[in-house]
Chain A
Amino acid sequence: MAKPGSKKTTLAVAVALIAVVAVIAAYFLLAPKAPKVKNVIVIGTTDNVQTTLDPCEAYDYLGVNIIQNMGEGLFAYEPGTAKLVNKLAVSYTVSPDRKVWDIKIRTDAKFQDGTPLTAQAVVWSWERTIKLNQDPAFLIGDLIEKAEAISSDTVRVYLKQPFEETYVKSLLATWVAFPVNPKTTPMDVVKPPNTVDMIGPYKLASWKPGEYIELVANPNYYGEKPKTERVIIRFYKDAQSLRLAVENGEVDVAFRTLSPADVKDIMAKGALQVVSGPGIAPIRYMVINVNKEPFNDKRVRQAIAYLIDRNQIVNTVYMGTFAQPLYSMVPIGFLGHKDSFKERYGDKPNVQAARQLLVQAGFSESNPLKMELWYTPVRYTPAEPDIAAIIKQNLEASGMIKVDLKSADWATYRSLFKQEKIAVWLLGWFPDFLDSDNYVRPFYHSGANGWLHVNYQNPTIDKLIDEQVLQPTEQRIKTLAQIQDIAAEDAPIIPLWQEGQFAVAQKNVKGIVLDYSQIFRYWLIYAEVSG
């Protein structure tokens, strides 16, 4: 062995050093230049979780969306399509009388703690939701008479009525029907900062109410691993703060809701990308309390329907891209959608027709209809005042209507229309489940539209709404068309536009899918880092 200090030793050390340096240098120089993926993504939003993240109770957009990233049901929407596919279900059979479904479930699915999914767990989860009877429980409570596990992998469902097939599947795809782990879930609502154990790509890591929610990949998920290991959902108070945060790079993706004007500005600057997709959350409409003078006169409501220029709203406020004019409460893309208002009133304002109706109803230029139009500035879009101003301008173009614009925060607003102190106001609808029924029943059925205080009652439409969910698909489409035509004729509610979805993201972010399912899938999103 060479003595320390000898030439050989020096040489050996030098060679070793050079070798180490070379290896390190080679690592950095030759390391694949292919983009790496960041292991954490920050998603900023102005939404907040309204109640809890327990699927038996959550009923707000963000809460439900986070649950949809942590759990899944027997059926789900295929990303990019409006097609319902099997998820935790493998196959199913429907009895000839359409009242009994046998659903076979996956045997390889496990909860977060490794407990395997069984038919018993599915049944237990549904029973828990129905028994606790929280806000959205009716979604399956009104559907299922009884459910039982006929084997460890088959659930037998007895329906309350012989409902149509896609209707049943769309309800079983809702978050309230997601299986929860019977071993760890209490028979009570789980409160923040906790949630329940479900089967899905992510699980909850931490939650500071009002500030952020952190999700991490669920190691026991049977399906594909999420593209990004950790997701932080950061809450912002308003669109202005959210915009500033995405512009200075603190947020990777801003989703729901920047003002359309801000998005236009951001697009013009070109430093960020804007991803958009079709949307139905929300659809926007005007409600007219049909008991209030002079709106109890159908002709007055029809005149309003003639005057509103949906294209003006969509083009000026939404730049023609982030929204579509809506001519029926059933949105475009849904079973049986029909442009009934377009057929009945046209797609441009018809001042002549409106004036005739107003004259018949007893108004004139010297005796104009004086009305208040109410809106609420925070709940829907930051552009709400601009929209209300356009509608005012549309209505006043008749020369026989004088509009007084009024606004109030949501709690006041809700009280005003609940106590029927106001006659005409703007609202928006976020669907409970993705079926046309959810766009006609809550508005037009006199047994279900009490919450709206529109006071619209029509026995014919009630009967048609009750029938359509029990009819085979072909027949159902015809019935839905009839319902939409009657609704356009009576015009107690005037559909205005359906809002598209748009996300603003850093340029290195990929995998944002915005589709009709309205699910913002965190598990598909990733951010590349070069080098």
Chain B
Amino acid sequence: MGLKEYVFSRILLTPVMLFILLTFVFLLLRVLPGDPITMLEGKNIPEDVLARRRAELGLDKPIYVQYIDYLYSVFVKLDLGETALERVPVAYLIAVRLPATIELAVSSTIIAALIGLSMGLLSARYQYGRLPYAVRVYSSVVYSIPVFYIGLLLQAFLAKPLGMPTTGRLSPINMVLADSLPVRTGFIFLDSLLSGRLDILSDYLIHLLLPSLTLGIYLSGVFSRVTYLSVEDAMSQEYTQAARGRGLREWTIVKRYGLRNALIPILTMAGLQVAALLGGAVLTETTFNWEGIGLLVYEGILKRDYAIVQGAVTIYAVLVSLTSLIVDVLYAYVDPRVRY
């Protein structure tokens, strides 16, 4: 099977995976007590008005009809629906919120890779000292504490003493400004840079620092661990011994023989981490009021807004399967032995 066929078959499988996932989410949401209209209850609203609102959302129909309606609208009409109370298209909300999540994911992956790779490489280089133990402790600690706790620690001990902003992607005034910039992709980094608004860009970077550091630190644990183990493995191979025998410097060996051969497992892990990354993003976004898909899901669950949760999960699923596809394709470039 060639690369093209492989990619094609993977893409064909995506709707099947989506179907299973959406069925699961659909059922899970219906098991939770309450429905989208529950948020309006506890007030004086007449019963007939509430009943009409439920009927407008199709909540009065039997559950299997709701299920079929839902699948029909997602897979046939390609429509993610509207939110229950505001009646805003979910696709619009996702389009507005997605850039924030991607920004966070990319920046925290960079941070995780920087911390993880350097720790892993350093401990592989000095593998007979104390460093590997320290790094091992670091990675297990960082990976086992909840990500929001890292966020709270950073807020309390870094942001507060320095007076750094800890909420949102921009200060409120700049948020409004950013939405009227000449270049508008939704990615504030690009928009402010291309519009020449360095003041907004710097405000953005300050706001981005803590959330991406939080998520980055969380993910760096696994990164450093996997890097260390695979580099160490490569370092004990015969070709490294030979290199050492030829009198190459230890760092050159680590970089040229260790790291390169370790890239495959690191890449695999990075691909698998996408799910953890997006899961961590939900918690990081809620901790820092970072208005991405994660915060949207969180609010959607609290409001029992089925359309929001289902829509966001769809996007998550597509993102995860897309990334793992990209990772699979990258293998072929990193390792010439890989054939599809």
Contact = CB atoms under 8 A, between A and B. Distances in A.
B49 A134 contact: yes
Contacts of B295: 237
Nearest to A247: B160
A247 B156 CA distance: 13
B196 interface: no
Interface string B164-193: 111110011101100110000000000000
B289 to A, nearest CB: 4
A276 interface: no
A40 B173 contact: yes
Given A209-B93, A237-B286, A42 B172 contact: yes
A165 to B, nearest CB: 22
B39 A50 contact: yes
B186 to A, nearest CB: 11
Contacts of A50: 39-40, 85-86
Interface string B84-96: 0111100001001
A410 B49 contact: no
Interface string B276-318: 0000000000101101000110110011100000000000000
A136 B86 CA distance: 15
Nearest to B84: A51
Given A210-B93, A210-B291, A241-B289, A411 B175 contact: no
Contacts of B101: none
Contacts of B159: 244
Contact of B172 (A234, A247, A432): A234
Contact of A232 (B86, B96, B176, B291): B176
Interface in B37-69: 38-47, 49
B33 A232 contact: no
B32 interface: yes
Nearest to A251: B172
Contacts of A248: 163-166
B146 interface: no
Interface stretch (A119-127, A413-421, A479-487, A510-518): A413-421
B291 A211 contact: yes
A247 B45 CA distance: 38
> Which of B86, B179, B295 has its CB near the most chain A CB atoms (within 10 A)?
B86
Contacts of B291: 210-211
Contacts of B45: 59, 135-136, 451
Contacts of B173: 40, 42, 232
A415 B30 CA distance: 13
Contacts of B304: 411
A367 interface: no
B34 A432 contact: no
A29 to B, nearest CB: 28
B123 interface: no
A399 interface: no
Interface string A51-71: 110000001000000000000
Contact of A135 (B49, B155, B303): B49
Contacts of B289: 236-237, 241, 245
Contacts of A244: 155, 159-160, 165-167
A214 interface: yes
Interface string A223-261: 000000000101011000110110110110000000000
A152 B263 CA distance: 80
A18 B203 CA distance: 39
Interface in A163-212: 189, 191-193, 206, 208-212
A411 B34 contact: yes
Contacts of A251: 172
A272 interface: no
Contacts of B33: 408, 411-412, 415-416
Interface in A142-170: none
B209 to A, nearest CB: 14
B41 A451 contact: yes
A415 B38 contact: yes
Given A40-B173, A237-B295, A414 B34 contact: yes
Given A250-B165, A411-B304, A442 B39 contact: no
B296 A210 contact: yes
A40 B164 CA distance: 22
Contacts of B298: 237
A136 B49 CA distance: 9
A476 B295 CA distance: 49
Nearest to B100: A211
A378 interface: yes
Contacts of A307: none
A420 to B, nearest CB: 13
A222 interface: no
A50 B36 CA distance: 11
A427 B42 contact: yes
Contact of B86 (A52, A411, A448, A450): A52
B49 A450 contact: no
Nearest to A189: B87
Nearest to A50: B85
A336 interface: no
Contacts of A412: 32-34
B172 A44 contact: yes
Nearest to B286: A237
A138 interface: yes
Contact of A250 (B44, B85, B167, B288): B167
Contacts of A351: none
> Which of A234, A241, A411 has its CB near the most chain B CB atoms (within 10 A)?
A411
A49 interface: yes
B270 to A, nearest CB: 30
A476 B303 CA distance: 40
Given A191-B88, A237-B286, A248-B164, A210 B34 contact: no
Contacts of B303: 411
Given A191-B87, A237-B286, A248-B165, A59 B172 contact: no
Nearest to B176: A214
A432 B44 contact: yes
B38 A411 contact: yes
A409 interface: yes
A206 B176 contact: yes
Contacts of B286: 237
A93 interface: no
Contacts of A234: 168, 172, 175
20 contacts: A42-B172, A50-B39, A50-B40, A51-B86, A59-B45, A192-B86, A210-B299, A214-B176, A237-B298, A237-B299, A241-B167, A242-B167, A244-B159, A247-B160, A250-B165, A410-B34, A412-B34, A415-B38, A418-B41, A451-B41
Given A189-B87, A192-B87, 7 more contacts: A59-B43, A133-B49, A138-B49, A234-B168, A237-B295, A241-B289, A411-B303
The 6 closest A-B pairs by CB, nearest first: A411-B34, A415-B33, A234-B172, A412-B33, A241-B289, A241-B167
